[in-house]
Amino acid sequence: ADFDLLIRGGTCVTAADTFSADVAIKDGVIAATGRELGSADKEIDASGLLVMPGGIDSHVHLAQPSASGTPQMADGFETGTRSAIAGGTTTVIPFAQQPRGVGLRETLESYHEKARGQAYCDYGFHLIITDPTPQVLGQELPALVKDGYTSFKVFMTYDDMVLNDRELLEVFDCAKDCKALVMVHCEGYDAIRFMTERLERQGKTEPYYHGVSRPQIVEREAAHRAISHAQLIDVPIMIVHVSGREAMEQIRWAQQKGIKIFGETCTQYIALTADDMKGFNMDGSGSKYVCSPPPRDHESWDAIWEGIRGGVFQTFSSDHCPFFYDGPQGKMTGKAKASFRWVPNGLPGVENRMQVFFSEGVSKGRITLNEFVALTSTNHAKMYGLYPKKGSIAPGFDADIVLWDPNREEVITQSAMHHAADYTPYEGQKIKGWPVMTLLRGKKVCEEGKITGEVGDGTFLKRDYSAFVS
């Protein structure tokens, strides 16, 4: 036969176009799109379905170690990437977090060890720089950027990760020199510590007060500070997991002034609110929703949609950062009962990202199909140096494809999830639009929620420079 596989009769969607076409695949790559393409060993009938590029989730945490005495992350590479493909995502970019005092090569090697042969989908790594010594910024990081680790994240809060302003400037300067893209976690460390200690003195220690301890003002201040530092150095940065109007407006302001600032938002900021963190008095279930920045309110959802529709945000990610709720590794074990300060921050969501975004975005008429593809796949590929290998339906691209039923109605429920966590924060969400089949480089890896791929199908991706950094 001419091809290995032919996907027939579907509606192809890219970031730019929507068109009826068959898709021919050979050796894991899209060989042609169109009509009457030739013969194939296998065929898939996609009539009534959308044929879209597999999702790329550029903000995922897997197998990151926790401080001793605090819960371990629920997902490693096996269960996290299994959950990804079940949700239509074929590439994830998790983080390799530098422990202070440890070199970057050593850090990366330990993450490669955790991932090698364990992934169901393709993956890359962003570094997290916690210890920007002259050795790290002068030698290690530039060499690693050349080796295909072209983006890294820095934090403006958290005891074990926070960088001060001088360190941020040094890191930004290094990124400029080596053409890397810096992702910045914008929340102000001192303000959060002040608020946390005051709340604790007042006995306000339940999970709900996690949100009170880091209001939007704290996020906005840090976003503005990061933007100013980036402008000073003249380097593009990506402000990740923007939660509401305040930080969104800072990014929009910068963009309107011509400062090169990019923005990311996430599922929790269009689907959850601060009120979800109430619930301690019954069973502690509020902790299920504790993440940073915290979920806000309905007005914030509107502001996030405004930013999505207005082009302020380039990428829509999950920030999948899963913990168990019950049991000895649960979110409310140990010190967490005494204060929200000790509740691990993060939510599982890699499987639900495209479902919730499609349902709330496309099905409710807020965004087009093409915007959906741009925000869940194409822009991630361009932003993080995977384009033109990933992120579109066109000849030469990897045949990473999700077949999507735009009319299918489902309800998200933990019993159908493929992650290792014991809950989903999106439990009970009504969804219209659902992935029915996922292909990774031409191989069917999930069908109707059943995993047909094998662990080890996923390969490591060396990445190019960001197309947005020039």
> What region does 358 belong to: left with phi over 0, alpha with psi -120 to 50, or beta?
alpha
- CB-nearer residue toward ligand URP: 158 or 253: 158
Which of ligand URP, Zn ion, none lies near 345, with the C-beta cut-off 5 to 8 A by kind?
ligand URP
Ordered DSSP codes for 3-17: EEEEEES-EEE-SS-
Binding map of ligand URP across residues 308-327, x = CB under 6 A, - = no contact? -----------x-x------
> Can residue 185 be called a binding residue for ligand URP (CB under 6 A)?
yes
SS3 category, 226: helix
- Alpha carbon distance 245, 303 (integer Å): 5
Which of ligand URP, Zn ion, none lies near 252, with the C-beta cut-off 5 to 8 A by kind?
none
- CB-nearer residue toward ligand URP: 185 or 229: 185
> Can residue 255 be called a binding residue for ligand URP (CB under 6 A)?
no
- For residue 358, give every residue at least 6 positions away whose Cβ sits within 8 Å of its Cβ, in sequence order, or none: 372, 404, 406, 431, 432, 433
* CB 155, min distance to ligand URP, A: 7
* CB 291, min distance to Zn ion, A: 8
Q: Which of residues 48-77 bind ligand URP (CB under 6 A)?
A: 61
* CB 320, min distance to ligand URP, A: 9
What does DSSP say about strands 50-53 and 401-411: parallel, antiparallel, or unpaired?
A: antiparallel
- For residue 69, give every residue at least 6 positions away whose Cβ sits within 8 Å of its Cβ, in sequence order, or none: 334, 335
Q: What are phi and psi of 240, to 5 degrees?
A: -90, 165
Q: Which of 72, 231, 345, 368 binds ligand URP (CB under 6 A)?
A: 345
- CB-nearer residue toward ligand URP: 44 or 321: 321
Q: Which of 291, 312, 343, 367 binds ligand URP (CB under 6 A)?
A: 291
> Can residue 39 be called a binding residue for Zn ion (CB under 5 A)?
no
- Bond from prior residue into 293 cis (ω within 30 degrees of 0): yes
Q: Which of 16, 34, 38, 41 binds Zn ion (CB under 5 A)?
A: 41
Q: Which of 71, 295, 346, 458 binds ligand URP (CB under 6 A)?
A: 346
Which of Zn ion, ligand URP, none lies near 67, with the C-beta cut-off 5 to 8 A by kind?
none
Asked whether the beta carbons of 143 and 152 are under 8 A apart, the reply is: no
User: DSSP E strands: which ranges in 137-190?
Assistant: 151-155, 181-185
Which of Zn ion, ligand URP, none lies near 211, with the C-beta cut-off 5 to 8 A by kind?
none
- For residue 130, give every residue at least 6 positions away whose Cβ sits within 8 Å of its Cβ, in sequence order, or none: 97, 98, 99, 100, 155, 160, 161, 163
Asked whether the beta carbons of 71 and 344 are under 8 A apart, the reply is: yes
| Binding interface with Zn ion (CB under 5 A) | 1, 41, 185, 319
| Binding interface with ligand URP (CB under 6 A) | 61, 185, 241, 291-292, 319, 321, 345-346
